[in-house]
Amino acid sequence: MSENPRIRPLGAVSVTPGDPWLPVEVHERVGSTNDLVREDPRPWRVVVADVQESGRGRLGRTWTTTPGTALAVSVLVPEPASGAGWVPLLAGLALHRAVAEVSGVATALKWPNDVLVPGDGDRKLAGLLCEWTPAGVVVGAGVNVDTAREDLPLDTATSLRAAGAPGTDRTSLLEAYLRHLAAVLREDTGPDGASVAAYRAACSTVGRDVEVHAPDGTVREGRATGVDAEGRLTVRTETGTSSVSAGDVVHVRSR
């Protein structure tokens, strides 16, 4: 393992007065920030951890963090006007904006829940996992912040350090994410509103050739043509156009 200078520890976190968030709960080490929020699901609750030992990604994947190098945060938000299916997409939009503001790294959104760095080979910088509760939607976000290239678990992953922004402050990134997420949800007026339009503009999946790996193991190939009113990806194949609500979407590289 390479030496990786530890960035400023997560400390007291402030958010803009008038924002809806409850006081941010900062933990040194947890199993899963999503699990902590689900144990006491209050709207606008925020849980962040320096180390997450058993975090989850989509499709049962695991996501753990190394001290001082990543941001692991979970929040609980009410269902927005566009519907619960839009929550992971709008949260991704907020994270996309926060990363640009704090680090200057340009990112693109891969439907439904990945943040990629086009300038770093379309590698994955961050992912989101949403879980539904009667009180609202738990949104977990994991961002590789100061992890060295050689310490990343997969060649398809990147970090802000590897993408050219070493030493990005995690507290500043967290504050920006919460601010942008509150704004995106506040400005969401439905499927024809500004927040949905902004997501569609930032989604790099639209217009790409893709493989859709369905939960039952089947794979479809086609062209992603848009995101519908319910937040589903529309894909055109040889047999017609359909909407995808679940599954793993792979961007097919041009040959």
Task: Provide the domain count of the chain.
Answer: 2
Tell me what pLDDT residue 7 has: 37
Backbone torsions φ then ψ of 213, nearest 5 degrees: -95, 105
Residues 127 and 247 in one domain: no
Residues 247 and 152 in one domain: no
Tell me what pLDDT residue 62 has: 58
CB–CB of 15/177 below 8 Å?
A: no
Tell me which residue range forms the domain holding 62.
25-201
Residues 135 and 242 in one domain: no
Tell me what pLDDT residue 253 has: 77
Cα dihedral 63, 69, 75, 80 in deg (nearest 10): -90
CA-CA distances (angstroms) from residue 163 to 70, 128, 150?
Answer: 14, 19, 13
* Both structure tokens of 17: 């007065």
How far is it, in rounded angstroms, from Cα 103 to Cα 8? 15
Tokens 């055109």 belong to residue: 236
* pLDDT tens per residue, range 171-216: 999 999 999 999 999 999 999 999 999 999 999 999 999 999 988 8
Displacement of CA 61 from its chain's centroid (Å): 15
Residues 87 and 174 in one domain: yes
Tell me what pLDDT residue 247 has: 82
Q: Is the peptide bond before 112 cis (omega within 30 degrees of 0)?
A: yes
Residues 147 and 220 in one domain: no
- Rounded to 10 deg, the angle between the 194-202 and 87-103 helix axes is 70
- HSE-CB of 69 using CA atoms within 13 angstroms: 20
Residues 65 and 160 in one domain: yes
How far is it, in rounded angstroms, from Cα 159 to Cα 147? 6
How far is it, in rounded angstroms, from Cα 156 to Cα 175? 27
Tell me what pLDDT residue 17 has: 58
Residues 247 and 176 in one domain: no
* Three-state DSSP class for residue 150: helix
pTM above 0.75, yes or no: yes
Tell me what pLDDT residue 211 has: 94
How far is it, in rounded angstroms, from Cα 147 to Cα 36? 25
Helix/strand/coil percentages in the chain, nearest 5: 25, 30, 45
H/E run at residue 73: strand 70-77
For residue 20, being part of any structural domain is answered with no
Residues 192 and 239 in one domain: no
Tell me what pLDDT residue 65 has: 61
Residues 165 and 49 in one domain: yes
* Low pLDDT (below 50) residues in the chain: 1-8, 59, 255
Residues 137 and 230 in one domain: no
CB–CB of 133/225 below 8 Å?
A: no
Intra-chain end-to-end CA distance of the chain, in Å = 35
CATH code, 175:
3.30.930.10
For residue 193, being part of any structural domain is answered with yes
